[in-house]
Structure 1
């Protein structure tokens, strides 16, 4: 089974991201992924993320969102993590503002991997201790280490 740490690099982790809306957050997710994956076009990726949001919010609750999509020209799964400077309205299921986003893009035919990764990310972000450590991180490298080496105390 593929692990989050296999599809995440330090350049795909952004701490203190300043966005003011759900749209801007999705633009930053698309931009960060496209910068780290040459075969993906930022505009096409953004449109796929918006299209997925129209089906239903990816605002998971507890200040967390997991925007995700499957896309045709994606060769392998890729993730991005954003820790926002200021929480934003993301139409979350619990109506809370969101300050942690984990964006996920997978190949169009990778249904099983997509579901496994979503389950893994949701499990991590359902843990209060994990979210506390993520929120207390002060650099992209520190957050990357937390996400790839495991959260202490859980």
Structure 2
């Protein structure tokens, strides 16, 4: 399976034993750093940005988050979806003092391709529908979740 489309790498991870938003960001960022997609500053820059500009969205039945960093920390562009076995707390995007339980994290490592906003729009449009999000979060397998991610969220056939 080729996970690269138009020069952007896509993948999805199932994340066990993640207890904090920092752990989730580290887990996905380290995965990308080991593959050569982001530099060693990416993880800390993304965590720092998440503390200043939270990315949690209170979708139902489970929240989502869309952390990202500045383009100078990206070597090659990538978008990774991580499904958490146990939800973790993120701060809400529109109210940094409010916390929500997040079960799906979309980490964006982009240099400007289609901008973060286009990805965010596709993610939010899909995840604001409760039935869609249930189908994704409770997918029976990693393959099924990946197919939803690629075809229904990102709109690749």
Per the shorter chain, which TM-score range?
Answer: 0.7 to 0.9
Quote how far apart the aligned CAs of 1:33 are. 2.1
Matched, 1:60 2:57: yes
TM-score (norm 2): 0.77
- Count of residues in Structure 1 that have an aligned counterpart in Structure 2: 141
Give me the whole-angstrom Cα distance separating, in 1, the residues matched to 2:44 and 2:121.
24
Quote how far apart the aligned CAs of 1:8 are. 4.8
Contact conserved, 1:78 with 1:104, CA < 8 A, in 2?
Answer: yes
Partner of 1:100: 104
Quote how far apart the aligned CAs of 1:91 are. 1.8
Give me the whole-angstrom Cα distance separating, in 2, the residues matched to 1:101 and 1:31.
15
Quote how far apart the aligned CAs of 1:39 are. 4.6
TM-score (norm 1): 0.78
Distance 1:61 1:34, change over 3 A: same
Quote how far apart the aligned CAs of 1:24 are. 0.4
- Structure with the bigger RCO (C-alpha within 8 Å, sep 6+) is 1
Partner of 2:86: 86
Partner of 2:14: 15
Partner of 1:150: 152
| Ranges in structure 1 where 5+ consecutive residues have no aligned partner | none
Quote how far apart the aligned CAs of 1:80 are. 0.8
SS of residue paired to 1:23: helix
Q: Can you list the C-alpha shifts for 1:22-80, whole angstroms capped at 9, x where unaligned? A: 110110121122233x1522x31111211211322111112111111222152543111
SS of residue paired to 2:149: helix
Partner of 1:25: 24
Give me the whole-angstrom Cα distance separating, in 1, the residues matched to 2:9 and 2:113.
19
Structure with a larger share of its residues in helix: 1
Give me the whole-angstrom Cα distance separating, in 1, the residues matched to 2:116 and 2:135.
25
